[in-house]
Copies of this chain bind each other. A is one copy, B any other.
Amino acid sequence: MKEKVYLFSEERAEGKELGRNILGGKGANLIEMAGLGIPVPPGIVITTDACKEYIEKKHPTNGLSEDLKKEIKCKLQDLENSLPEARKLGSETKPLLVSVRSGAPVSMPGMMDTILNLGLNQKTVEGLSEETENEQFALDSYRRFIQMFGNVVLEIDHSEFEQILENHKRQEGIQQDFELKAQSIRRIIDDYQELIHKKTGKDFPEDTTEQLHQAIEAVFSSWNNERAVFYRRLNNIPHDLGTAVTIQSMVFGNMGNDSATGVAFTRDPSTGEKSFYGEYLINAQGEDVVAGIRTPKPISLLEKDMPSAYQKLFSIQERLEDHFRDMQDIEFTIQQNKLYLLQTRNGKRTSAASLRIAVEMYNEGKIDAKKALMQVDPTGLPSLLTPVFSTQLKQNAIQEGKLIGRGLNAGPGAASGTIILDSSRARQASTKGEKVILVRAETSPEDIIGMQHSVGILTARGGMTSHAAVVARGMNKPCIVGCSSLRIDLKGKSIRFITDEREVELKEGDELSIDGSSGEIIQGSLPTEPSEIDQLMNQKVDKPSLTAKYFLTIMEWADKYRRLMIRANADTPQDAKTARFYGAQGIGLCRTEHMFFEKDRIMMMRQMILAENQNERKKVLSSLLEYQKDDFIHIFEVMEGLPVTIRLLDPPLHEFLPHSHEQDVELSKHINLSPEEIYRRSKLHKEDNPMLGHRGCRLGITFPEITQTQARAVLEAASIVQKKGIRAYPEIMVPLVGHPKEFVLQKQLIDSVAEEVFNQTKETIEYSVGTMIEVPRATVQAGKIASHAQFFSFGTNDLTQMTLAFSRDDSGVFLQDYIEHGIYEANPFETLDQEGVGELIKIAIERGRKVRKDLKIGICGEHGGDPKSIDFFHHQGLDYVSCSPFRVPVARLAAARVAISDSS
């Protein structure tokens, strides 16, 4: 018969080879530490097999099998024997206290929680009291044990214990638990035991073995409690894994001045510098270090306080870092001069530190480049690229009460400037050299120019994927959205921040600072500093900083390992330049509509939309053609030799139309229509559900001249730059295709224009025509579409909207509830919904590649810059992902990491 109980201690690490499935996650980790000879408080692990057997054979009265009890007893003796003093479970002089924890192979909420201090009873508590010479500590430990046991094992509602505790505290007139005197605690214990007797009809078990058995049974049973079953069902975790039980002897750092407790890092977690770093408290418990009641000392002082323990700890931390090949975050306790490691795990660190640690550990020969890349979290990179406030100055301002509001940290980075409430005034102010913070209730496409002319954006409404948030991240501008305490008075040109405590009013023109990385809104102007990498990019420094240097190294390594190509979404030559600096290998999405929002162009655009016939439209389009050609020429020049995917006009036309009477009047001065007629015609373009309306290739079907003009602009521009000796590779992308015939009709238009242009210019351009896959219908029709289209680019933003029937702009109302209920784990507009949208993507790829083996496939939605989504795209065999320029480094690193994970 296979053993079901394993021991770990300083001398032994049984069952190391069995792994998480048998030992559970917690058990396996502890045994690994023990196996390294690291001093851990010894303990035993009962396997998941024992749990499965228990569940199968369980009768309510049976309890644990005799065999298992025997095995536990046996191992427990081994455990007791392994202890420095003859400590025993139930001993009245040297009582062994243990913790009991569940440990499933997969981390799983809903299972039984920890029970601490098991082994205490009326007698052993006195032993502990004498031993520690701390009656209050011993009694409080006992009280907590009864409460945990009563709640978890005996299933008495937590609040009933709390009620008793509160009553006593009220009687004593005290606030905090630790203020309770021993005598009071004794009374509370009496009340607890009375409660238990009343509820269960039995006394609280005095027999410590009985305590242990009941606790183990409770862990086993919790595998099948309602919450756990529900969680497994929802997350497709098999019901037959079972849970292990870890029983570990307790150690105390508060057994006198030869005891201590602390936390430490093997390197400085904020800078990454290689120096042992941490803090500790003499004669204290773990909680005390974090509770902040006493001020811990820096770890370097431990060398003086307890030289031998320190030296041991120092050498252990080195070994742990070497073993786990990463910077470690360590918890330790020294009990009467004996050092115990309670936990080690990879330490959290700042993004800058992660670069330094990774590259330096590589330089030290501790890790290879792959491992180095796996140490750097890609999601932290954008914060290294944006300007920041000086930490000290910001802290000062906050202490002076200048923190007047908070919102969602939608676009990282810091910005200071003058408040402007309107996009056209923002433009004026910026032209005069002012730094503008644009403050709006929310933004819409007509605010794009205003946003471009601002250093930061603040909105009262919207979520992380609102228009303002998405566009700001694309522009890499600091942005705070959804600041619900913000009220805007457009007439009075003022804003107010209203909270329960106070109300702060500011006028347009006043100074404001926003920290888009934290969501903090600060009154007045705070100086910002460009990021070190930004300084390097703009060649403002002779020598790169350490962070910038390490950043470039990591990026270089990433490019060696990734399979995915990385492109950027860039609509302007400036965006394209940034994209190239950050390593984009092409443009995956150049939105042409943004090109039409500039002053002169928007007027023409409006004239075109309101035209009553094709001839009128064609006339205006030919003027727009020249503007657009110019845009493309500059983009092609910047992207020399790299592909540029240009999407044909996509948004519903009414987005371009006037939105106010003033705008109607202004437009009427430019075109031969009265403001009333403009209003009337504009109204015809209003839609109930514009997302599902007259947009995308539907525009090109009803107004073929738009497609023709855009295709001509692209190809003539390519021809012009090519004559200068610069290679251009335009990829023309038809948006919102749902039916293969839509694509065929658009492609025919484009190909005819190409033929004309080539004849005129006597020059041939290597161009291709493909489509966005963003309508669910397109995913199932991908085979037929691929027989005509040369490339696919998944438009995962819209595909998510249609597949989930979630409007990005409206889903804020319920999305929070959805995430709280665990329906979606993350916002599906940030991290791809793999089960739904991903399934359609799989179908599309399979059907598309079946028809066209060399079909080029990319993705250009927001998800192109999200590491989890990039993993998915890598596994689906995409050729590239495209994201906003400032997320290109994220994508490069994420693509490398998933390729490395795959190969290992």
A702 at the interface (CB under 8 A from B): yes
The answer to whether residues A689 and B810 also contact, given A803-B777, A805-B736, A817-B701 and a CB cut-off of 8 A, is yes
A641 at the interface (CB under 8 A from B): no
The answer to whether residues A821 and B692 also contact, given A805-B775, A805-B802, A810-B687 and a CB cut-off of 8 A, is no
Are B745 and A807 within 8 A (Cβ)? no
Are A693 and B811 within 8 A (Cβ)? yes
* Chain B residues within an 8 Å CB radius of A742: 823
CA distance A493 to B463 in the complex (A): 45
| Contact indicator per residue, chain A 788-803, by CB within 8 Å of chain B (1) or not (0) | 0000000000100111
The answer to whether residues A777 and B798 also contact, given A688-B809, A692-B810 and a CB cut-off of 8 A, is no
Pick from A52-60, A140-148, A834-842 the stretch touching chain B.
A834-842
CA distance A822 to B843 in the complex (A): 26
CA distance A739 to B828 in the complex (A): 12
Are A804 and B817 within 8 A (Cβ)? no
CA distance A691 to B691 in the complex (A): 9
Which of chain B's residues has its CB closest to A822's CB? B741
A–B Cβ pairs within 8 angstroms, 16 of them? A233-B744, A234-B741, A687-B807, A689-B692, A691-B691, A693-B810, A701-B823, A702-B813, A702-B814, A738-B803, A738-B804, A738-B805, A775-B805, A777-B805, A781-B835, A781-B839
* Chain B residues within an 8 Å CB radius of A694: 810-811, 813-814
A324 at the interface (CB under 8 A from B): no
CA distance A689 to B808 in the complex (A): 9
* Chain B residues within an 8 Å CB radius of A814: 694, 698, 701-702
A520 at the interface (CB under 8 A from B): no
Partner of A836, one of B702, B738, B818: B738
Q: How far is the CB of A232 from chain B (nearest CB, A)?
A: 12
The answer to whether residues A701 and B821 also contact, given A692-B807, A777-B804, A810-B688 and a CB cut-off of 8 A, is yes
* Chain B residues within an 8 Å CB radius of A276: none
A872 at the interface (CB under 8 A from B): no
A581 at the interface (CB under 8 A from B): no
CA distance A748 to B838 in the complex (A): 28
Question: With A689-B807, A701-B823, A777-B803 given, can you name 20 additional A-B contacts, CB distance below 8 Å?
Answer: A234-B740, A234-B741, A687-B807, A688-B810, A689-B691, A691-B805, A691-B807, A692-B810, A694-B813, A696-B805, A702-B813, A738-B803, A738-B805, A775-B804, A775-B805, A777-B833, A777-B836, A780-B836, A781-B836, A802-B802
A690 at the interface (CB under 8 A from B): yes
A656 at the interface (CB under 8 A from B): no
Q: How far is the CB of A609 from chain B (nearest CB, A)?
A: 13
A627 at the interface (CB under 8 A from B): no
* Chain B residues within an 8 Å CB radius of A702: 813-814, 817
CA distance A36 to B334 in the complex (A): 109
* Chain B residues within an 8 Å CB radius of A252: none
Which of chain B's residues has its CB closest to A835's CB? B781
| Contact indicator per residue, chain A 425-445, by CB within 8 Å of chain B (1) or not (0) | 000000000000000000000
Partner of A780, one of B805, B807, B840: B840
CA distance A818 to B697 in the complex (A): 11
Q: How far is the CB of A162 from chain B (nearest CB, A)?
A: 25
* Chain B residues within an 8 Å CB radius of A738: 803-806, 836
| Contact indicator per residue, chain A 697-734, by CB within 8 Å of chain B (1) or not (0) | 01001100000000000000000000000000000000
A269 at the interface (CB under 8 A from B): no
Partner of A741, one of B698, B776, B823: B823
* Chain B residues within an 8 Å CB radius of A836: 738-739, 776-777, 780-781
Q: How far is the CB of A149 from chain B (nearest CB, A)?
A: 31
CA distance A289 to B137 in the complex (A): 113
Partner of A692, one of B740, B774, B806: B806
Are B805 and A803 within 8 A (Cβ)? no
Q: How far is the CB of A826 from chain B (nearest CB, A)?
A: 13
Copy count, this protein chain: 2
| Contact indicator per residue, chain A 53-79, by CB within 8 Å of chain B (1) or not (0) | 000000000000000000000000000
Which of chain B's residues has its CB closest to A806's CB? B692
Q: How far is the CB of A388 from chain B (nearest CB, A)?
A: 34
Partner of A744, one of B234, B739, B835: B234
CA distance A843 to B843 in the complex (A): 11
CA distance A803 to B775 in the complex (A): 6
* Chain B residues within an 8 Å CB radius of A780: 835-836, 839-840, 843
Which of chain B's residues has its CB closest to A824's CB? B739
Which of chain B's residues has its CB closest to A742's CB? B823
Q: How far is the CB of A22 from chain B (nearest CB, A)?
A: 29
Which of chain B's residues has its CB closest to A741's CB? B823
Which of chain A's residues 729-773 have a Cβ closer than 8 Å to chain B? 736, 738-742, 744-745
CA distance A809 to B691 in the complex (A): 12
CA distance A777 to B837 in the complex (A): 7
* Chain B residues within an 8 Å CB radius of A741: 234, 821-823
Which of chain A's residues 402-427 have a Cβ closer than 8 Å to chain B? none
CA distance A840 to B781 in the complex (A): 11
CA distance A310 to B223 in the complex (A): 91
CA distance A789 to B252 in the complex (A): 53
Q: How far is the CB of A301 from chain B (nearest CB, A)?
A: 52
Are A701 and B818 within 8 A (Cβ)? yes
* Chain B residues within an 8 Å CB radius of A736: 805
* Residue from A698, A809, A811, A833 whose CB has the most chain B CB atoms within 10 Å: A698
* Chain B residues within an 8 Å CB radius of A688: 690-691, 807, 809-810
* Chain B residues within an 8 Å CB radius of A739: 823-824, 836
* Chain B residues within an 8 Å CB radius of A689: 689-692, 807, 809-810
Which of chain B's residues has its CB closest to A817's CB? B702
A-B pairs with lowest CB-CB distance, top 3: A692-B807, A777-B836, A689-B807
CA distance A701 to B813 in the complex (A): 11
Partner of A690, one of B693, B781, B803, B810: B810
Q: How far is the CB of A460 from chain B (nearest CB, A)?
A: 13
CA distance A690 to B807 in the complex (A): 8
* Chain B residues within an 8 Å CB radius of A234: 740-741, 744
Q: How far is the CB of A780 from chain B (nearest CB, A)?
A: 4
CA distance A143 to B365 in the complex (A): 95
* Chain B residues within an 8 Å CB radius of A801: 692
Q: How far is the CB of A704 from chain B (nearest CB, A)?
A: 10
| Contact indicator per residue, chain A 216-239, by CB within 8 Å of chain B (1) or not (0) | 000000000000000001100000
CA distance A688 to B801 in the complex (A): 13
| Contact indicator per residue, chain A 649-691, by CB within 8 Å of chain B (1) or not (0) | 0000000000000000000000000000000000000011111
Which of chain B's residues has its CB closest to A444's CB? B688
CA distance A806 to B745 in the complex (A): 19
Are A776 and B840 within 8 A (Cβ)? yes
* Chain B residues within an 8 Å CB radius of A803: 738, 775-777, 802
CA distance A840 to B777 in the complex (A): 8
* Chain B residues within an 8 Å CB radius of A818: 698, 701
Which of chain B's residues has its CB closest to A801's CB? B692
Which of chain B's residues has its CB closest to A686's CB? B810
CA distance A536 to B817 in the complex (A): 53
* Chain B residues within an 8 Å CB radius of A745: 821, 823
Q: How far is the CB of A191 from chain B (nearest CB, A)?
A: 34
* Chain B residues within an 8 Å CB radius of A776: 776, 802-805, 836, 840
* Chain B residues within an 8 Å CB radius of A837: 777
CA distance A804 to B739 in the complex (A): 8
CA distance A35 to B523 in the complex (A): 97
| Contact indicator per residue, chain A 111-139, by CB within 8 Å of chain B (1) or not (0) | 00000000000000000000000000000
* Chain B residues within an 8 Å CB radius of A775: 803-805
CA distance A691 to B817 in the complex (A): 19
Q: How far is the CB of A229 from chain B (nearest CB, A)?
A: 12
* Chain B residues within an 8 Å CB radius of A806: 692, 738
Which of chain B's residues has its CB closest to A748's CB? B230
* Chain B residues within an 8 Å CB radius of A822: 741
Q: How far is the CB of A370 from chain B (nearest CB, A)?
A: 35
* Chain B residues within an 8 Å CB radius of A740: 234
CA distance A806 to B740 in the complex (A): 16
CA distance A814 to B741 in the complex (A): 15
CA distance A809 to B690 in the complex (A): 10
